[in-house]
Amino acid sequence: MDAYEDLQQATLHDIPRSECLQLLGVARVGRIVFADDEGPVALPVNFRMDGESVLFRVSPASEMCLRLNEAKVSFQVDRLDDFHQTGWSVLVRGTSSYVESEDLPVLRSTRPLPWARGFRPVYVRVQPTQISGRRLVDD
């Protein structure tokens, strides 16, 4: 045990589901977590919530796209403060699938708009089976 172990001030607290959804609702970027033949990976994508599901867009030419059709995935969002060593994270576990045009949000301005240039016409939805979050509080 290190001598300065005592300096740790922060405690982990669970975030209630309703608050997880609030945090997801205002976040604009997260990480899609999926598996390919080499194992699990996480890649940042910008997203929007559609009710309780996560919506983002991918290129049909990407390896990621191939792996997101009816797959077990997670979507992870956090805000972490290096300096204060505090922060929160939310994890959505569920199933990803391609979204048909008629199942997209009617209001176009509420759909995700990719930050990066390029052709990303495939909408992917993560339908949650579990939403959980933790906050590291300096008490």
Chain positions contacting a second copy, by CB under 8 A: 1-2, 4-5, 8-12, 27-29, 31, 33-35, 38-44, 46, 71-74, 76, 78, 80, 82, 85-87, 89, 91, 93, 108, 111, 113-118, 121, 130, 136
Q: What angle do CA 107, 112, 114 make, to 5 degrees?
A: 140
Least distance to a second copy from the beta carbon of 90, Å?
11
Q: Which is nearer to a second copy, 21 or 120 (CB)?
A: 120
Q: Which is nearer to a second copy, 10 or 65 (CB)?
A: 10
Find all residues with CB under 8 Å of 4, minimum gap 6, and list them. Answer: none
Least distance to a second copy from the beta carbon of 17, Å?
17
Q: Which is nearer to a second copy, 86 or 98 (CB)?
A: 86
Least distance to a second copy from the beta carbon of 134, Å?
9
Least distance to a second copy from the beta carbon of 24, Å?
14
Long-range contacts of 117-123 (CB under 8 A, 24+ apart): 118/59, 119/59, 119/60, 119/61, 120/57, 120/58, 120/59, 121/57, 121/60, 122/57, 122/58, 122/59, 122/60, 122/65, 122/98, 123/55, 123/56, 123/57, 123/98, 123/99
